[in-house]
Amino acid sequence: MLLNRVVITGCGAVSPFGLGVTSLVDGVWQGRSGVRYMPEWQNIRGLTSHLAAPVPDFDAKQLLSRPLRRTMGSMAIYATLAAREAVTASGLSPEILHSGSVGVAIGSTTGSPQIYEDFYRSFIATMSIEEQRSGTFFKLMGHSCAANVCLALGISGEQWAPASACTSAAQAIGLGYLLIQSGRQTAMLCGGADEVHSAVTIIFDVMKAASRVHEEPLKAPRPFDKKRDGVVCGGGSGILVLESLDSAQRRGAKILCEIIGFGHVNDSQHIANPHESSMERAMRNAMKEGNVSLSDIDYVNAHATGTQLGDIAESRAIYAVLDGNVPVSSFKGHIGHTLGAAGGLETIIVLAMLDRQELAPTLHLNQPDPECAPIAFVQSICKHSLNTVIKNNFALGGVNTSLVLRRWTS
Amino acid sequence: MISSNETISRKVTEVLAEEFELAPDLLTADATLYDDLGLDSLDAVDMVVALEKAFGMKMTNEDAIRGVRTVGDLTAVVIKIRDQQPRKV
């Protein structure tokens, strides 16, 4: 069976730097941090991490009509705005979106945690549903982002919502790639979304994996650094338009890069701990599918969230697959760990690197941890020839994903 | 009387304007909820919740509510339910 080649023809972002791809990319290239102190979390007994990278406040009323907004929690609003930007950038017409040949794969960790909180606060206090609004379920459901994006943009093809926490967006991109390869869909809007909520940070805090650098919130998290102390959770959405090469060329669309490999494995070892050889396996599978070898890889965008175990395991896996000369960085220092959105937002930054032919560094990486493997950590913006790159994302539950992306040169 | 009919009519339009982000000048007595104002079955659920909260009374007469087509019909139903409320002595 002849498989379709798959390219990226558009992207859209809502991030801790605000609305739009430009604000995301500018934030990274200006070396800024989207992390801030969350003073209201001081009131949660036992919670030791009071840091997050939320999307700055904006007035969604000005951007989305009430009939659309009534079924959206924050994450679905982020996903819809990012998807709309991605579609505009790709030039996909409303007719194509309505044709049934375009689908959506947008994941998140859960439905909106804020809406869960609102519902149960009211329900448990009153044991009544008499004041519940009709939109509540549509904000809570696991496919809230994907369903709302389809409705808002008139997309009538396949609708998927991979839910795997930190790999939700990466899985969605991989799924879109497979659906287009096989010819089931011509184009797919792929990515993920999540929103900052104390319940999400609590999960990492309970596992002693959340950062506590309260006196210097703009210096957390610190992936790969000797002084790293855990994750800072963020919010937002990153959406990519994946499309068959034939379709993109027929439309005369601007091609941002080609996806040539997707590695996707479960470690089946531990529900929470990272597993080095499974990370390796994901990267090797993606490289094998892309028919590329060590000498072809110009850069690795690491998942590296700033946890003790995860960063060490990933550095060692990268070293085992690629040796120590391939540049590596993580964007969690800039935008925190945006969980379900991470694979989408971080891939958008990688696309900017491919376009600019520049490496973007890991923010706050001052002293690489000697426990990490001696890989080539990127610590400042610098020019670099970039053609073929790896994008890693890993998740609790043993999920390991790697994408291989290739710069498009016509 | 708890409220005059005119006060109830004004309050109904205020609730609809607020709840559904509608321009007040669209909320004429003969404006139809579905066709003219663009509401649907989900909105109808929220409309009842919002009106119950605004008027402090349960709107349990589902047959009457199901028959509502216009803003005027809705106001009439609210007045009717108001009139059926037990009077405090």
Final residue in a domain of this structure, among A219, A251, A283: A251
Which residue type, as a one-letter code, is found at position A241?
V
Same domain, A245 and A165: yes
Same domain, A93 and A230: yes
Final residue in a domain of this structure, among A251, A284, A319: A251
Domain count of the fold of chain A: 2
Same domain, A329 and A232: no
**Contact at 8 Å (CB) between A385 and A358?**
no
The answer, for A226 touching chain B at a CB cutoff of 8 Å, is no
Query: How, if at all, do strands A376-377 and A382-383 pair?
Result: unpaired
Q: What are phi and psi of A193, to 5 degrees?
A: -155, 155
Rg of chain B taking only CA atoms, in angstroms:
12
Indicate the fold that domain B5-84 takes in CATH.
Answer: 1.10.1200
- Write out chain A residues lying below 8 Å of B52, CB-based: 130
Q: Give the one of A61, A131, A134 whose C-beta lies nearest to B42's C-beta.
A: A134
- The mean pLDDT value for A83-96 works out to 98
| Shortest CA gap B35–chain A (Å) | 14
Measured over all CA atoms, what is the biggest interatomic distance in chain B, rounded to whole angstroms? 42
DSSP A232-258: -BB-EEEEEEEEEHHHHHHHTPPP-EE
CB contact under 8 A, A131 and B43: no
Which residue type, as a one-letter code, is found at position B38?
G
- Write out chain A residues lying below 8 Å of B21, CB-based: 61, 66
Domain membership of residue A182 (yes or no) is: yes
Q: Give the one of A67, A133, A135 whose C-beta lies nearest to B38's C-beta.
A: A67
Q: Is the pLDDT of residue B87 over 90?
A: no
Q: How many angstroms separate the CA atoms of A53 and A336, rounded?
A: 6
Q: Is the pLDDT of residue A392 over 60?
A: yes
Q: How many angstroms separate the CA atoms of B37 and B44, rounded?
A: 12
Final residue in a domain of this structure, among A251, A273, A296: A251
- Write out chain B residues lying below 8 Å of A61, CB-based: 21
- Residue B88 pLDDT class (50, 70, 90 cuts): low
CB contact under 8 A, B43 and A133: no
Q: Is the pLDDT of residue B25 over 60?
A: yes
Domain membership of residue A67 (yes or no) is: yes
Report pLDDT for A213: 86
- How many residue pairs from chains A and B have C-beta atoms closer than 8 A? 22
Q: Minimal CA–CA distance to A173: which of A263, A47, A271, A78?
A: A263
Q: What CATH number is attached to the domain comprising A144?
A: 3.40.47.10
Q: Is the pLDDT of residue A278 over 90?
A: yes
| Shortest CA gap B19–chain A (Å) | 10
**Complex-level ipTM:** 0.90
- The mean pLDDT value for A214-234 works out to 93
Q: How many angstroms separate the CA atoms of A297 and A301, rounded?
A: 11
The answer, for B60 touching chain A at a CB cutoff of 8 Å, is no
Q: In terms of residues, how long is chain A? A: 410
First to last CA, chain A: 25
Domain membership of residue A256 (yes or no) is: no
Of all residues in chain A, the percent with pLDDT exceeding 70 is: 100
- The mean pLDDT value for A361-385 works out to 98
Nearest CA in chain B to A133: B46
Same domain, A230 and A265: no
Interface test with A, best of B41, B49, B57 (most A CBs within 10 A): B49
Tens digits of residue pLDDT in A3-60: 999 999 999 999 999 999 999 999 999 999 999 999 999 999 999 999 999 999 999 9
| Shortest CA gap B50–chain A (Å) | 8
Report pLDDT for A128: 93
Report pLDDT for A22: 98
Q: Is the pLDDT of residue B2 over 60?
A: no
| Shortest CA gap A134–chain B (Å) | 6
Domain membership of residue A135 (yes or no) is: yes
Domain membership of residue A218 (yes or no) is: yes
Would you kindly state where each structural domain of chain B is located, as residue ranges? 5-84
Structural domain of residue A195, as residue ranges?
6-251
Q: Is the pLDDT of residue B89 over 60?
A: no
Same domain, A399 and A335: yes
**Contact at 8 Å (CB) between A230 and A339?**
no
The answer, for B2 touching chain A at a CB cutoff of 8 Å, is no
Same domain, A336 and A370: yes
Q: How far is CA A402 from the centre of its chain?
A: 12
- Write out chain B residues lying below 8 Å of A67, CB-based: 38, 40
Q: How many angstroms separate the CA atoms of A286 and A144, rounded?
A: 29
